[in-house]
Amino acid sequence: MIPARAQSWLAIRWLAFVAIAGSGAVSDLLTKHFIFQWRGLPGVTPPWWLVEPYVGIQTAVNPGALFGFGAGWGSFFATLSVIAGVGIFVWLWRFGAINSWWLIVSLGCVLAGIVGNLYDRLGMWYLPEYPAEWRNGVRDWILFQYPPYVWPNFNIADCLLVCGAIMLTIHSFKTPAPESANSRSASHP
């Protein structure tokens, strides 16, 4: 039996995780919806520049994963997304990541990105009149370039995934390695 104080502490942490993941996913899905309504499908309108010619809004559909690799593998990437999402909950619950605010925030960002892009990969935004190659594609709209270099368009989910991954990398360098059984027995005869 978990004491009442520990239960409320745990509930607050789970609530924070769900709030981060939920608000991130909703932000991604709403921005994609509104940007695609405003700017139209890819190729319909020219980029709308915030800072010409560096930062703008341009709709695109990525049929693959990172930088468009794996085009046509939408079902595979959707399956990986579900596995990663389940893994996050296992890490939080079973392996105690819920005890770290840093991990709550970083894993919340990662899950938000997974959910936002998974929605697209499952074709939940797709309409029959769209090109078939977009069926399991991810909607992107943030345009960043430094001519002649053009970065592939991305979305809020991608930003959340990258921020969460950076936080996890930082955490991995700051977390001490667990002692091995051999080093413990050698130091404690």
Q: Which two tokens stand for residue 69?
A: 């690799």
Burial of 129 (0-12, 13-18, 19+ CB in 10 A): exposed
Q: Which whole-number Å values give the CA distances from 84 to 63, 90, 156, 160, 161, in the listed order?
A: 20, 10, 18, 15, 12
Q: Select which of 13, 140, 153, 154 is catalytic.
A: 140
CB 98 within 8 A of CB 10: yes
Q: Is 120 an active-site residue?
A: no
Cα angle, residue 56 at apex, residues 50 and 167 outer, rounded to 5°:
105
CB 128 within 8 A of CB 34: no
CA distance 118 to 152: 19
Q: Select which of 158, 159, 160, 167 is catalytic.
A: 158
Going by C-alpha positions, the residue among 171, 29, 28, 176 that lies closest to residue 107 is: 171
- Catalytic residue numbers read 140, 158
